[in-house]
Chain A
Amino acid sequence: MSMPMGHPRERTLHRFEDGELTGRGRARVAAHLEACARCRALLLSIRSLKEAVRDLPRVELPDGLLEAALARRAAGDRVILPTADPRAPRITPAAARVAAVGLLLAAGFVAVRVGDAGAHASDLRFDPDRPVRGATIAVGYTPEAALASHPTLRLRARLRDRDDESYNGGMTSTVVSTLERDADGEYRGEFTLPDSIVFAAFAVEAPDGTLVDANDRRLWELLVHGDDGRPLADALEQRSHDLMGRNWELAFEAARERARLYPDEPGSLSLVGFFEPLVMGEQAWADSGLAVFQDRFARLDRKLRGRTDLDGDQLSEMMWSARRTEDSTAERHWRERLVDEFPRHTQTLQHRIVHEVLSPHYADTAYVLARLDSIWNTIEDEPVRGGPGYSHLLGQGLAFAAGTGDAELTGSWADRYLEVWPTGEVNVARAIARIPALRPRAIRLLEGELARLESFPDDDRPLHLTIEENRRRLERPIQSVLAMLGNTLIDAGETERGAETLARAAAIGWDTGVFRRVAEAQLELGRAETALATFARVAADPATTPAFVDSVRDRLGPAYDEARWREQVEAARRAMHDRTLEDATMRSLPDRVRLTTGDGRTRTLREIAGGRVAFVTMWDRYCGAASEALPEIERLATELQARGIAAIVIAEQSPSPELDAFLRERNVEITLYHDTRREAKRGFNAWGTPEYFITDGEGRIRFEYTDLTSVLRQVDALDRGAPLVP
């Protein structure tokens, strides 16, 4: 016999309905229900909901998904699927830090290339996970399904020492360990960090480089720690360098961590001073960040003024922080100390070259070259050379020398340049190719660089790319070097070889500049028929003006045939679409990217685009390059809008009368949207300006960080249904 009971708790009724309640508890509730109309009604409502939900029809499957998926596969997209349930977290502290700050991440997409795939289920562990310099590290890797079939995997790393520079352009990567699969399906290996290394980023890949697990592009990281258990200041700085261009917010996070752990290091403050305006936006920083920064600087300045043991880097960092605070007196103090105490420091060189040589004497080539030469003589034997001072000295020395047309002088600056930067062949070749006597040398340099690129050196391959993806990445640089080489050969009188080289460049990717040069070379060689086909490629590009088409008629003369011309242009246009789409990406944006209109309302990017292909510009009123580009942006926007394409210009700044006046002064009539919440910046991962993107009708990014000359062609390729070219 059941004991009388009060109303069961509501959750108990749910468990009763679900069959989760058993034994005596179930019997007691059943007895209660017989006597209680209220609880029966409650149970009925639960049951009704369950039944209604059970009968829900499947939602409608939209058209086109299969075709899109097949097209993406054909274009090389791969996705590593989560085939196992989530495991209990076994994340290294380094990875945990990434995960913690990952809340800031803008990586709102599951759609990833193989190279970006899979951190959600895979796991790379280091032991010790807080290594000291030179430590030997054991590695454990739990693989993603797609990698699990290989008996061994490769652990690749980008190793950074304290002097490595920001961004990863010049960085190399290397296989540091071969991981072997054990009986449990885990992979194990080990490696030893070189003593000089303070930070490393890792990815795991198949032995043939066809599949890469790059932890959702975040990579895995290892920071070298000191004996006190803290990550080294240099390790945090190198982490921020490594993240530049990849994820500005995480880079900023590393800078802030450095400032937290090493508040009295001048480098900590200047690094924060570099990132804060970038991440906050210059205006927001001027409004609210600058005063705090000034306060922090003033405190550090008081602490360090009397110290005489600061090295050149520390003095230089104080000078830069002072400049950030707009305190010219403090800036002068730290600069004078730097210049006096470290006359050969790279920042000292930069200051002297800019303020003592270039600014006051720019027009006096002979004087500039004499001074640069004397500066070179003072530092020729420095053991460590690089940084902005050397960049100014050698870049300007080479440019001024080439401007004189003096082959011997230019050749000697080219020697100096290559002595400091042996990989600067292309820069040197570009500078010296204008001097006839030096063209053979320019050709040799370009051929050398071309051979290097075409060998697809694996140490240049970014960690997150497969070998095939890296080959595609190098197509553009190869095309650029081929174009330069072809032009130089033609200039050197080797027209036939030059035309062949340009034709190779033209075969790599769509570049109307290259096509035009190829066509002209073909004309020069008397091959009017071939030139017509190549000119047709130029004409197919929607950015080409009608005047150009008219000029082709004149230049081809009797070889011009209207019917054939139209046929060739149409064929070229189809080829252009295909080639352009080969370069397209597929990146989702967050569902909600909110922008502020000029009158203060909030609209989402999706609403503004309205399901149309959209040309999106990230713009900043205080950026010179962005301001210069405004007329062209306006022209393109007007042209595209007339054809039903959305043109969305997103400004860093909030709406203001000052901004309106700025546009009025320049006669620009453009509707600005304002990224007041930084949602666009994060969504597009666009931290510089001007940056250009093309999104498709579904609101996905299809062309990223593109350039104004390619916009019409890319929009045309995406919007084939409504051709832009008549």
Chain B
Amino acid sequence: MHLVHEGHEHSVGGRLTTLAERTDLPALLRDVRRGSTDALAALYGEYGAVVYDIARRITGSAADAEDITQDVFIGLPEAAAVFDGRGSFEGWLKKVAVRASLMRLRDRRRIHGLDGDRPPDGRLVADETGAAIDRIAIERALTLLPDELRVVFVLKEIEGYSHREAAALVGITKGASEVRLFRARKALQELIGGRP
């Protein structure tokens, strides 16, 4: 295993493939649509980490993120048919990953009731020695947020969507997105003890 920050390096079938080496994304997508596993592996090499990262942060669950990442790449050959090539493929794929993650959360709610089964249950101790707010504490606190708050927080603050875009993805109003972001931040500050 290796840590991927920008997702440019993956071993696929014993060789390194980077999309930077392939400037012909349309041809790659065409190959993927035709069922080429090499092409699919190349796309995974480039975007697998992005998809997994989004799924992991939205669902707060590594197991769910693994399933979602697999599902996204299993479904990609068929889904790529609707990518019209006009915008960024990465942007399109990220939105697919977001929607797949939201679906997973909805399924989870069917089983566990609203907001999953991990209510915030206490403060986490921030690391006072380094950064103003410890990253590990944030990571942990994020997983403790109720799903509906974490989703908006991740979309807005980590993935950089606007409130309008986040609202469209989640299926809520822009105002609701703003309110949820506000609540998410307050809950996070409570959890990491970062309130002044």
Residues of A at the B interface (CB closer than 8 Å) are: 10-11, 14-15, 18, 20, 41-42, 44-46, 48-63, 65-66, 68-70, 72-73, 77-83, 85-86, 102-111, 120, 145-146, 148-149, 211, 588, 590-592, 682-683, 698-699
B79 within 8 A of A: yes
Most buried by A among B48, B68, B73, B76: B73
Partner of A42 from the list B53, B68, B170, B196 (CB cut-off 8 Å) is B196
| Interface 0/1 of B101-145, CB less than 8 Å to A | 011101110111100010000000000000111010011000000
B171 interface hit (Cβ, 8 Å): yes
- CB-based contact B78/A66 at 8 Å: no
Q: Are B110 and A82 in contact (CB under 8 A)?
A: no
Partner of B178, one of A15, A50, A56, A78: A15
Given contacts A50-B157, A58-B53, A70-B41, contact A81 B3 (CB under 8 A): no
Contact of B79 (CB < 8 Å), options: A20, A54, A145, A683: A145
Inter-chain CA distance A66–B110, complex, in Å, is: 28
The smallest beta-carbon distance between A278 and chain B, in angstroms, is: 20
CA distance A191 to B102 in the complex (A): 35
Q: Provide the bound-state CA to CA distance between A18 and B146, in Å.
A: 22
Indicate whether B176 reaches chain A with its CB closer than 8 angstroms. Answer: no
Add 12 more A-B contacts to A61-B53, A698-B66 (CB < 8 A).
A10-B182, A11-B178, A52-B132, A53-B157, A56-B135, A57-B135, A58-B7, A60-B3, A66-B73, A69-B71, A108-B107, A588-B67
In the assembled complex, which residues on chain B have CB atoms less than 8 Å from the CB atom of A108? 107-108, 110-111
User: Can you report 7 A-B residue pairs in the complex whose CB atoms are below 8 A from each other?
Assistant: A11-B179, A11-B182, A57-B3, A65-B44, A70-B37, A108-B107, A111-B70
Q: How far is the CB of A713 from chain B (nearest CB, A)?
A: 25
A591–B61 CA distance with the chains assembled, in angstroms: 9
- Complex CA gap A50/B70 in Å reads 30
Contact A79 B75 (CB under 8 A): yes
3 shortest A-B CB distances, which residue pairs? A79-B75, A86-B171, A82-B99
Q: Which of B167-189 contact A (CB under 8 A)?
A: 168-171, 178-179, 181-182, 185-186, 188-189
- Residues in chain B near residue A44, CB distance under 8 A: 196
Given the known inter-chain contacts A146-B81, A682-B111, please indicate yes or no for A110 contacting B196, CB distance below 8 A.
no
Partner of A62, one of B62, B139, B157: B62
Cα–Cα, bound, A595→B104 (Å): 23
Query: Is A110 touching B103 in the complex (CB atoms < 8 A)?
Result: yes
Proximity bits, B20-31, A CB within 8 Å = 1, else 0: 000000000000
Complex Cα–Cα for A66 and B135 (A): 28
Select which of A42, A107, A682 is within 8 A of B107 by beta carbon: A107
Known contacts A77-B74, A79-B74, A110-B71; is A66 also within 8 Å of B1 by CB?
A: no
Residues in A whose Cβ lies below 8 Å from that of B186: 10
- In whole angstroms, what is the CA distance A81 to B70 when docked? 11
* B195→A45 contact, CB < 8 A: yes
B45 to chain A: closest residue by CB: A66
Q: Of residues 14 to 65 in B, which have CB atoms within 8 Å of A's CB atoms?
A: 37, 40-41, 44, 48-50, 52-53, 56-57, 61-65
Q: How far in angstroms is the closest Cβ of chain A from B16?
A: 14
B162–chain A nearest beta-carbon distance, Å:
10
How many angstroms between the C-alpha atoms of A91 and B65 in the bound complex? 29
